[in-house]
Amino acid sequence: MTTVDRPLRIVRTYHPRRGRLSGRHFDALERLAARYTFEIGWNVDVLEIGSGMGEATALMAAADPGRRYLAVEVHTPGVANLLHLIDEAGLGNVRIAAVDAFELLASNIPSGSLAAVHVFFPDPWPKARHHKRRLIVPERVAVLRDRLKPGGILHCATDDAGYAQAMLETLTADQELVNVYDGFAPRPAHRPVTKFEQRALRAGRPSFDVMYEKR
């Protein structure tokens, strides 16, 4: 049994968060969840893990109508907001899965099927004893890389400088991934600036992007 075939020990890579639902969000969940929830057989091109409030997902999918986007998010207000955004924009190329990403990958995303994986601003788990919970660690990267097609792109971004360096080192150490740039990537124009990132910038925390291609 290879590393990518072996089920990962379940270690949560995100903080469960609660949040209030506005009337608009309640309405979106009630009317739209069935229409835009991911179902087996819906072929995915781009997987986004942790889509937050969904602004980046909706904008990127709208600018890239030829590819199908699957947003994975467990925060209910974020799911509801993305439902509203994709319905408002009339996007037929986005689906949502409100589940743990690695459970979804294990059962529903075939090896070598994705053109891209996006991991934007995952929980940095800054305390050293919690680093095992980070999403970008070798055993999880092996799963993400396995699901990419040759030439597929793993694109990560964070505003935590320590995590950014750890991402760079972890991805560089994977022998089946090649850094598209020499070190950190220039901020790509195709990744929208979200409200979360704007707050980080105002607080003096710049963003770091890394982009790796599967051999």
Annotated domain spans of the chain: 23-214
Q: What is the pLDDT of residue 55?
A: 95
In tens digits, the chain (215 residues) has pLDDT values of 444 544 444 455 555 555 577 778 888 999 999 999 999 999 999 999 999 999 999 999 999 999 999 999 999 999 999 999 999 999 999 999 999 999 999 999 999 999 999 999 999 999 999 999 999 999 999 999 999 999 999 999 999 999 999 999 999 999 999 999 999 999 999 999 998 999 999 999 999 999 999 99
Give, rounded to a whole angstrom, the gap between the first and last alpha carbons of the chain. Answer: 22
Which residue's entry shows tokens 């792109």? 153
Q: What is the pLDDT of residue 103?
A: 95
Which residues partner with 95 through β-bridges?
A: 70
Which residue's entry shows tokens 């980046």? 56
Which residue's entry shows tokens 């097609």? 149
Could you tell me how far CA 150 lies from the centroid of its own chain? 19
- β-pairing, 114-120 with 46-49? parallel
Q: What is the pLDDT of residue 26?
A: 84
Q: What is the pLDDT of residue 6?
A: 46
C-alpha span between 54 and 57 (Å, rounded): 5
C-alpha span between 147 and 101 (Å, rounded): 12
Catalytic residues, by residue number, are 123
N residues, the chain: 215
In 3D, which of 38, 100, 92 has the Cα closest to residue 70?
38
Helix (H) or strand (E) holding 195: helix 195-202
- Residue 123, token pair as written in the block: 């929980």
CATH 3.40.50.170 for domain 23-214, yes or no, is no
